[in-house]
Amino acid sequence: MDDVRPLDASKLKYAYTTVPREVPNAETLANNKKTICTDHMIVASWNVESGWSVPELKPYGPFSLLPSASCLHYAYECFEGLKAYRGHDGKLRMFRTDRNARRLPMSAERISLPQFDPDELEKLIYALLSVDGAKWLPKNRAGDFLQNYQHHLNLAISQTEVLSPWNLPMWRGHRPG
């Protein structure tokens, strides 16, 4: 387990969209908060043998999961939301990013999901904002915000391993079964 890779934002790979989405007007955004997403997302995988993969900023889109992924059956996941906004002075800002980044690994630990350095997560969040923020929070919309920035910046970790008694997390030193 000594060779398990930590989450490392300095290795972030960039792949930009070739089909940028149109930024909706303010009214459309207000009425469709859960269905409008920015152009990109950051993805990093984790497994017990090697740890975290190299994070990738890539075009927003579907990703595949095995039908037996436990997150589809048992919903092991944690969530932390935050806001990116355009100040009245025209500057892009994030609200308490450091606090959000520090809470997510605490939540993950409580349900036996993989750990990561919150500073690395914060760097990845800012990388995503640097790519999509100016477009999705244009200067002519000072005072607007993207709640949770994807039009939600969903900071979520889900368990995607196949569930069996042999790969369930240890709970107080005991495996189930």
For domain 9-61+75-158, give the CATH number: 3.30.470.10
58 burial via Cβ count (<10 Å: 0-12, 13-18, 19+): middle
> Which residue, among 50, 155, 136, 32, has the nearest Cα to 85 in the 3D structure?
136
Question: If you average pLDDT over residues 32-39, what whole number do you get?
Answer: 71
* pLDDT recorded at residue 134: 84
pLDDT, one tens digit per residue, over 43-88 is 888 888 899 999 999 998 887 777 766 666 566 677 777 778 888 8
Which value, to the nearest 10 degrees, does the dihedral of the CA atoms of residues 66, 58, 76, 171 take? 100
Measured distance CA(108)–CA(115) in Å, rounded: 7
Domain ranges within the chain, ordered by starting residue? 9-61+75-158
Q: 84 and 137 in contact (C-beta within 8 Å)?
A: yes
> 87: which 2 tokens?
């100040």
pLDDT, one tens digit per residue, over 103-126 is 888 888 888 888 889 999 889 988
- 35's CB contacts (< 8 A; 6+ apart) are none
